[in-house]
Structure 1
Amino acid sequence: MPDTSQKAGGRRNAQSRREDQPMYPATLKVAVIHWVMLCAVASTVAQTVDLSGEWRFKKGDDASWRQPDLVDTDWQPISTGSPWEQQGHPDYDGFAWYRRRFTVPTALRDAEAFALTQSLLLSLGRVDDVDETWFNGQRVGGHGTFPPNYAGDWQAHRSYVVPNALVRWGEANVLAVRVYDGSGMGGLLGRRPLLRAATWREVVRLEWEPGLGDGLFTAPRPIAFQATLHNDSPRALSGDLHWSVEDDEGKELSRSTVAVALPAGRATPAVHSFQPSSPGFYKFVATLEPVDGTKLLFSKFTGYLPESIEAPLTREPDFDAFWKETLATLAAVDPQFAVERKIDRDSATHEVYEIAMRSLGGVRVRGWYEKPKTGNRSPVLLRVPGYGQNMRPTGSDAPIAFFSFNVRGHGNSQQDVSGLPADYWIRGLDDKRGYYYQGAYADCVRAVDFLAGRSELDPQRIGVTGGSQGGGLSLATAALDPRISLCAPNIPFLCDWVKYFKASHWPEMDKWIEARPERTWETTLKTMSYFDTLNMADRIRCPVLFSLGVQDPVCPPSTVFSVYNRLGGRKEFRAYPNDAHRVNGAHRAVLNAWIGREFSRPAK
């Protein structure tokens, strides 16, 4: 079964920026940096208990290890921030426990937030894969599901509310974290776990229960949006709950108000119904006020009849001629394939090679080819990059070949096209000939040329996958090259540009258009239409598996369904109701199984 995640021999690279966390256009990065700076300032001002430093660690699983009076002096010292594999336990997968003793200073009770909420917030960061966390012997939270129904959740940031009653002020407290790792790197990966006073927004929570588990409503009847208000504070609260509904372009469609009472330490159900007038994605907004003068706002998107979303094509009359010309020009470029063995990167199951080639315009592009050592003719998975992503060897032990390919301006393909600044989507946008994505799409086809010519590979089983920009590149490759036998786009970018710019706002694009008087939204969208996978979808004949995040603000799910609904062949999707712009950890198992099944089908 193929492993398409970033796991080396089933392992993930925990030292550098994760391969499946691509960069986004520059304006978003600036906003994120600004947000991080604000958070850093806030945490400096707040009173906190730093929980980094030395913890205690033991492999295995025993329920008694959560008890605060357990003697753990014979446990191994360990640090957070790096996996246990790098701290003396290579290749270990399974259960393990972390423990930490610390003192909570009485001065923390003087924090303004604590005076209101009477609670602390434990912030652990990421845990790989599943955790259950205990504070002085009492469970305060967990993420993922332990075996036998194992479901990892290594991407989630762990934050748990700790009630005042559990805290031993000015004395020793014990934190115990039960961890299970199914494969790859495991352990507490947060570099600076800490404890601080909890805010109202952290102790008064609204949990959504959208759709039928995937955040989608597929029946033509009113959406009954169910939620639960949790008051984890020791005080009873009351106020008004304001409901509003917006479409994914920000237009308010309805508004209403109900009075609510929230008993201390209890959960209160809340339901709001709305009948959409058309298929699409809708944002439910719940505003609770006042909570001691604090207004709390919660929002969530849901989809209504998403498989009935219809987006009009924007193909220009010369669309087919343009791509025929582009592919012919590419074919005339001597690929000059160069294969260089990288023995130091070999795994137990695969040989590794760095591949270089020439693409459209003679641009040099490269990638990492992993060939099974079995000698059998094997299927191959082409992996293409997200925005600014550096593709590297997978290190997977799956019995297939992998080609982790960097299009121009990415990873090891920057000899002729720089990756900085990361403004790919506006490079050459004045003309379809020379636009960045003309070259990037051609690069992917050139990568298929390489794979189709390898005698050790089965040319009838060439798949393509990627996330974000890589999802869009996967779709474009499958549309432009009939040699692709399966396509697995995750949270795809490059979909339905007209809707995209209505459902999301990018100041970077506004600034680019405003820089020259001859540029308009009309001319910009005309150029981008040649590279819109909406206009390419009906050319895809191979099986396709999409994944999407219902809360995704970077690649809105409505744009994903615009393309999905244009596909004419076998297709499936998986929607993750709480996910924004990320590939859900659970989807990796779904994707691996699907690729395995598709590659096992007899070739046509």
Structure 2
Amino acid sequence: MRIGLNSAAIGLAALLTAGGAEARDVAAFWRSTLARLAAEPLDAVGKELRESLPNKTYSVEYRSLGGVRVRARLALPIQGGQPDHLLPAIVTAPGYGSAQQGIMLAECQRGYAIPQVSPRSQGPSAELWKIDSGEKLTWNLSKPEGAYYQLAYADVIRGVDYLAARAGIDPNRIGIAGTSKGGGIALAMASLAPLSLAPSLRAPALVSSGGRDTICPAATIRAVFDRFPSTKPLLHEPDLPHTTPALFYCLSWRWLDQYLRP
């Protein structure tokens, strides 16, 4: 995953830099947010899509923070006979400026459930709720309550809730991956889901950066990377712009298999 402080990781940066009373305020804010999210009924609905694919694909819609409904796509591999184990899952979220996801649905053929979550005001979810002005990055940023990334993080966490409640999914083997803003969301989920907060983030994290990336500069990625103490390789390629190299793609699947396979 790739992260950048000029996108989703701006919320994560607040967790990383907080100390003392400020850290307690940040923790209290997210505890309150997560408690309100948990109080919302999931109210999930799903519909299998009839597509000529070697896997099952579903459109999913569920309720998130503030009663806003969010859309996702879910892909499941075809399993012959009676499955002998629950499926691990990889949640993914899109980059900042598009609906493009970091993990393609077809990757479910590797033996994973793949839900592509579109946070509110992005992708298919934008048909249900959109910010009223400006950019997602700075929308309501002056007041944490109601800021866009408070809401977007909640939307993706709710996607994890949906997976954990779904039959056939192993709730103990759920990972998250993404590129660009989606990578920032991935790290935020790893810190917020158990409310460990980023400096105490224990989930293994694989990160990449590019020396010619002007959208998510390598220095911003390194600043976040250095702050959490989990197992955390960083692949840096000096000549790489804002994209995912083939080497990192291959390494990421080895990494996911290592930690999520039964």
TM value normalised by structure 1: 0.38
Pick closer, same or farther for the CA change 1:388–1:422 going to 2, 3 Å. Answer: farther
* Partners of 1:391 and 1:404 within 8 A in 2: no
Q: Distance in 1 between matches of 2:39 and 2:100?
A: 27
Measured after TM superposition, the shift of residue 422 of structure 1 is 6.9
Q: 2:255 aligns with which of 594, 598, 601?
A: 594
Cα deviation per residue 1:440-488 (whole Å; 9 max; x = unaligned)? 01111101100111121111110101111111100111101139xxxxx
Is 1:380 the equivalent of 2:86? no
Read off the aligned partner of 1:558 and give its amino acid letter: A
Residue aligning to 2:27: 320
Structure with a larger share of its residues in helix: 2
Measured after TM superposition, the shift of residue 420 of structure 1 is 8.3
Matches within 5 A, 1:574-589: 574-589=235-250
Cα deviation per residue 1:408-465 (whole Å; 9 max; x = unaligned)? 1111111332278671011112211010001001111101100111121111110101
List gaps (5 residues or longer) in structure 2. Answer: 8-15
Cα deviation per residue 1:155-208 (whole Å; 9 max; x = unaligned)? xxxxxxxxxxxxxxxxxxxxxxxxxxxxxxxxxxxxxxxxxxxxxxxxxxxxxx
Q: Distance in 1 between matches of 2:219 and 2:187?
A: 16
Matches within 5 A, 1:113-192: none
* Partners of 2:37 and 2:154 within 8 A in 1: yes
Moved over 3 A (4+): 419-422
Residue aligning to 2:10: none
Matches within 5 A, 1:279-298: none
- Classify the secondary structure of the residue corresponding to 1:324: helix
Cα deviation per residue 1:307-351 (whole Å; 9 max; x = unaligned)? xxxxx823524111100000011111112111111022x521x21
Residue aligning to 2:67: 362
* Partners of 2:18 and 2:26 within 8 A in 1: no
Pick closer, same or farther for the CA change 1:464–1:541 going to 2, 3 Å. Answer: same
* Partners of 2:27 and 2:197 within 8 A in 1: no
- Classify the secondary structure of the residue corresponding to 1:385: coil
Higher relative contact order (CA 8 A, sep 6+): 2
**Corresponding pairs, count:** 241
Larger radius of gyration between Structure 1 and Structure 2: 1
Matches within 5 A, 1:442-461: 442-461=154-173
Residue aligning to 1:51: none
Matches within 5 A, 1:411-422: 411-418=123-130
Cα deviation per residue 1:37-83 (whole Å; 9 max; x = unaligned)? xxxxxxxxxxxxxxxxxxxxxxxxxxxxxxxxxxxxxxxxxxxxxxx
Measured after TM superposition, the shift of residue 398 of structure 1 is 1.4
Q: Distance in 1 between matches of 2:68 and 2:126?
A: 9
Read off the aligned partner of 2:36 and give its amino acid letter: T
Measured after TM superposition, the shift of residue 407 of structure 1 is 0.7
RMSD, aligned CA? 2.5
Q: 2:105 aligns with which of 357, 376, 394?
A: 394
* Partners of 1:388 and 1:422 within 8 A in 2: no
Structure with a larger share of its residues in strand: 1
Q: Distance in 2 between matches of 1:455 and 1:342?
A: 18
| Percent of aligned pairs with the same amino acid | 32
List gaps (5 residues or longer) in structure 1. Answer: 5-19, 26-311, 484-534
* Partners of 2:131 and 2:139 within 8 A in 1: no
Cα deviation per residue 1:87-106 (whole Å; 9 max; x = unaligned)? xxxxxxxxxxxxxxxxxxxx
Matches within 5 A, 1:324-335: 324-335=31-42
Cα deviation per residue 1:497-520 (whole Å; 9 max; x = unaligned)? xxxxxxxxxxxxxxxxxxxxxxxx
* Partners of 2:207 and 2:234 within 8 A in 1: yes
Residue aligning to 1:293: none
Q: Distance in 1 between matches of 2:205 and 2:42?
A: 28
TM value normalised by structure 2: 0.84
* Partners of 1:367 and 1:391 within 8 A in 2: no
Measured after TM superposition, the shift of residue 591 of structure 1 is 1.0
Measured after TM superposition, the shift of residue 580 of structure 1 is 2.0
Pick closer, same or farther for the CA change 1:334–1:596 going to 2, 3 Å. Answer: same
